[in-house]
Chain A
């Protein structure tokens, strides 16, 4: 039997280790899952990316940190201490025999499928600041949390514009939020919790801003917030300050049509403006393993379809905590997260042959909260009315709202033609339903180093609005590995199967493929590491 030496045959990636149960994310749900699986007798690896390094934070990865990190985040040892200290669950996991790896990114999940059959089994790509490696698994429990929805306004590129999850992480895990006075956008539970947390850490809260005409959560239940200014029916006009910094924010009142009311502009002094209007589940890994996702606005957008033991449509892959869906724009009740984690951990161990007593309870399903996307659209509408169309929707690639919906090629091409000017989202809609990935390729919105973390939702919201559709009707934009922006010299493998180096060719290695057509029989076989170039006519 012939083997194509230039193909992947015999070059399959070899995981550095194999662990029966891998849990991604050491929040409440992840720790509970790891502990439950370990107590069920399974060997468990629990990985969490925090503390992430300063360079990653500066790119707003994995959370929207908005450049409001203190200098101390550069001290990795100190940050490691603080992250451990802030999470008592880690000690519990350690005691339960869980292998806990912090400061470890999960940047990929690889499984066999219709067009990949080479893998010896499912595996994850892991990395720290220095190197990457592969870990095989039998059961995967994803507890990857959620991230912030952010929308653009003039000046949102300035340091100090950030998201609530970023603020929470910097306050509670790193104790390194460099804010003195914070203005919070939103008035739901996430906004209130962010305000309360800020106050608790001695940060002044300049106010809560709500585009709607009523608060979205009961503020009376949070005594600490008494006296915090509340701006209902307001939106952001601009963030201002000296070069690159937020020093104040201009707010303006909006009417029932979300149009600005003349003469109502006010300037609020603050060094931080924080989006706290809702969270989106982190479903990247679930997407990569092929778990079926469904759109549920009350749960934050695309969420995995789950069994009653939190198993996804992919056997052996579970989703727990916020990545399984949020409620009312905020992370779940810790009790629910813990219970989800425990159930999944037990199920994972059971499925590996542990003989556990039947589960005492199933996860109680919290009733869905309100739909979130209509609320986010309200914010977007107000920002559009006040800030206009020349605001960047994608910071990395500097794509404005106008350029997005006019499907303009990037400015650096300096391209202009009557044909191009005649094209827009409207003309594209004649050819088919709106597809965010297609618009991304043409405008580059979402193609930058933050890997569309800051713009994915607002690009979708804007496209939905401009094309007269709703977010659930726009296909999920794809996620591609590496799920974290990793340097070439971190992502690269330290060693490779000998066959990889030996038989590597640039293209298929078919000798006749690049041979001159005018000389019959002349072929150039691309040389490999050991084989010299032998043109067939010599």
Chain B
């Protein structure tokens, strides 16, 4: 039994990745402590599209296997619903939807091409502007807010601990191992450290002497008043991701992101911008039968990306008792599988169900320090002309 002021595994970050990892560890009997600077799931983990259809990922098969069981495994509702419908308003959009489905098909998943009539039968509020679509007999969606809380509660039910409103201020490293986590509420001993701190994960990498290229960005979503429930809520397309919730609200996001900086452990603001109008336009194009429905809410979130947009889930070479996890802005849906992978890395030394070599930290060994500038992923470049003139505020 570890010191009550510490734990066998200390997890920094009470987002969906850290909570899932903590839950899997706790249910296999590991003493686990999750630290979060605010409230669990308060950042992008609890404010996203809720999609759970990522079969292209190394975690994809396990994601698909686990989601239908999650309510039972957790003991709390996630609102998971199966299937996805993609609606295309143009040949380009149809090509993208088909391509994603074909990729899934190579993994053994079933899908169907829909014509306009079939789209309208499945989605009565779709319009004549739909040229077709796809029906995926896999994938799905869930409620992010409910799911993060479910992970947190289930983790506690298995004896794990969560400390909210606890900001990590430093790490104690002795003889090539992290031995303690320093926080605004004291020091916590750790045998193993998991860093799953979203946009701030890069700051921890810095503390640990490794380079993890991450660029945070702000993204936005809108929500309408409730509509009668459609047969399948997982409807998206026209450059939007999202779903109809089980309450009936249409919640959708998409469109341009704004690259930002996360200077320290500060909680990023989540403002919306007039982009909510552009989102409204695309949603009304996607589902013309709902064009008269009222937008009652919008929100923003901050998600981080690696240069190739793929996750990093890896154990550091040194300090060697540290696992770093960033899902590169696509973490919610994959969380059941990623958490399981991390718990296996702790317990068994490696992920048993998938080969994670494609998402190792080592792939960024040669990433130049100015990679964000090179990619144009910089904060405050409000105009191309300004950027061309070399000005970045």
A interface residues with partner B (beta carbon < 8 Å): 1-4, 6-13, 108, 110, 113-120, 123, 125, 132, 134, 288, 397, 409-410, 412-413, 415, 417-420, 423, 431-433, 435, 438, 441-442, 444, 447-449, 451, 480-482, 485-489, 491-493, 496, 500, 503-508, 510-517, 520, 524, 526-529, 531-533, 535
Residues of B within 8 A of A118 (CB): 258, 273, 382
Closest Cβ of chain A: how far from B190's Cβ, in Å?
Answer: 20
Is B182's CB within 8 Å of the partner chain A? no
A1 CA / B383 CA spacing, docked (Å): 12
Q: Is the beta-carbon distance between A117 and B393 smaller than 8 angstroms?
A: yes
The 25 listed contacts between A and B (C-beta, < 8 Å) are A2-B375, A108-B274, A114-B263, A116-B218, A116-B269, A119-B273, A409-B146, A419-B74, A419-B75, A423-B153, A438-B39, A448-B225, A485-B225, A488-B283, A491-B277, A506-B239, A512-B310, A513-B310, A513-B330, A514-B100, A516-B103, A520-B358, A526-B96, A528-B92, A529-B90
A533 and B92 form a contact (CB under 8 A): yes
Q: When the two chains form their complex, are residues A486 and B295 in contact, meaning their CB atoms are under 8 A apart?
A: yes
Q: Is the CB of A514 within 8 A of B56?
A: yes
* 0/1 interface trace, chain B 229-264, chain A, CB 8 Å (1 if under): 000000010011100001100000011111110010
Closest 4 CB pairs of A and B: A513-B309, A510-B309, A419-B75, A492-B281
Select A7's contact among B56, B270, B283, B376, beta carbons within 8 Å: B376
Contacts A418-B75, A486-B294 given; indicate if A115 touches B269 (C-beta within 8 A).
yes
Beyond the given A12-B382, A513-B328, please list 4 additional residue pairs across the A-B interface where CB-CB is below 8 A.
Answer: A3-B387, A13-B274, A116-B271, A417-B76
Q: Is B184 an interface residue (CB 8 A)?
A: no
Q: Which of B114-122, B157-165, B168-176, B318-326 is found at the contact surface with chain A?
A: B157-165
| Cα–Cα, bound, A2→B387 (Å) | 8
B292 & A487 in contact (Cβ 8 Å cutoff):
yes
Contacts A2-B375, A409-B146, A513-B308; A508 near B39 (Cβ below 8 A): no
Chain B residues at the A interface, C-beta cutoff of 8 Å: 39-40, 46, 54, 56-58, 74-77, 79, 90-93, 95-96, 99-100, 103, 106, 145-146, 149, 152-154, 157, 162, 164-165, 217-218, 224-226, 236, 239-241, 246-247, 254-260, 263, 266, 268-278, 280-284, 290-300, 302, 305, 308-310, 328-330, 358-359, 373-377, 379-384, 387-388, 390, 393
**Docked-complex contact A9 and B274, CB < 8 angstroms:** no
Across the two chains, which residue of chain B brings its CB closest to A534? Answer: B95
Partner of A451 from the list B218, B297, B383 (CB cut-off 8 Å) is B297
A10 touching B383 in the complex, CB below 8 Å, given contacts A419-B154, A449-B225, A513-B310: yes
Q: Do residues A492 and B99 form an inter-chain contact, with CB atoms below 8 A?
A: no
Cβ of A9 and Cβ of B383 under 8 Å apart? yes
| Interchain CA distance A331-B36 in the complex, whole Å | 42
* A508 B329 Cβ-Cβ under 8 A: yes
B42 to chain A, nearest CB (A): 8
A6 and B308 in contact, given A431-B162, A482-B298, A516-B56 (Cβ under 8 angstroms): no
A interface secondary structure, majority: loop
Of A397, A481, A491, A506, which contacts B254 at CB under 8 A?
Answer: A506
Q: Judge whether A1 and B376 touch: CB under 8 Å.
A: yes
Q: Within 8 Å CB of A134, what residues of B?
A: 274
A209 to chain B, nearest CB (A): 33
Q: A108-B272, A507-B329 are in contact. Are A480 and B95 (CB under 8 A)?
A: no
For the complex, what is the distance from the CA of A493 to the CA of B283, rounded to whole Å?
12
List of B residues within 8 angstroms of A415 by Cβ: 76-77
Q: Which residues of B contact A132 (CB under 8 A)?
A: 277
Contact B293 A444, beta carbon cutoff 8 Å = no
Contact of A488 with B269 in the complex, beta carbons under 8 Å: no
Whether the pair A492, B280 counts as a contact (CB closer than 8 A) is: yes
The minimal Cβ–Cβ distance linking A430 to chain B, given in whole angstroms, is 9
Chain B residues near A438: list those with CB within 8 A: 39
- Residue in chain B with minimal CB distance to A435: B39
Known contacts A417-B76, A432-B39, A488-B284; A11 and B256 CB within 8 A of each other: yes
**Assembly CA distance A8 to B277 (angstroms):** 14
- Contact, CB under 8 Å: A480 / B239: no
Complex-state Cα separation, A435 to B149, whole angstroms: 14
Most buried by A among B273, B274, B305: B274
State how many angstroms separate the Cβ of A84 from the closest Cβ of chain B: 27
Complex contact A517–B269 (CB within 8 A): no
Contact A480 B329 (CB under 8 A): no
Expressed in whole angstroms, the Cα–Cα distance for A396 and B261 within the complex equals 38
Bound Cα distance A435, B40 (Å): 12
Give the Cβ gap from A126 to chain B, nearest Cβ, in Å. 11
What's the Cα separation between A3 and B383 when bound, in Å?
9
Residues in B with CB closer than 8 Å to A485 are 225, 294-296
Residue of A nearest to B291 (CB): A489
CB distance from B32 to the nearest CB of A (A): 15
Contact between A442 and B149 (Cβ–Cβ < 8 Å)?
A: yes
Contact assessment for B309 and A7 in the assembled complex, using a CB-CB cutoff below 8 Å: no
Q: B365: shortest Cβ distance to chain A, in Å?
A: 17
Nearest-neighbour CB distance to chain B for A503, whole angstroms, equals 7
In the complex, how many angstroms separate the beta carbon of B386 from the nearest chain A beta carbon? Answer: 9
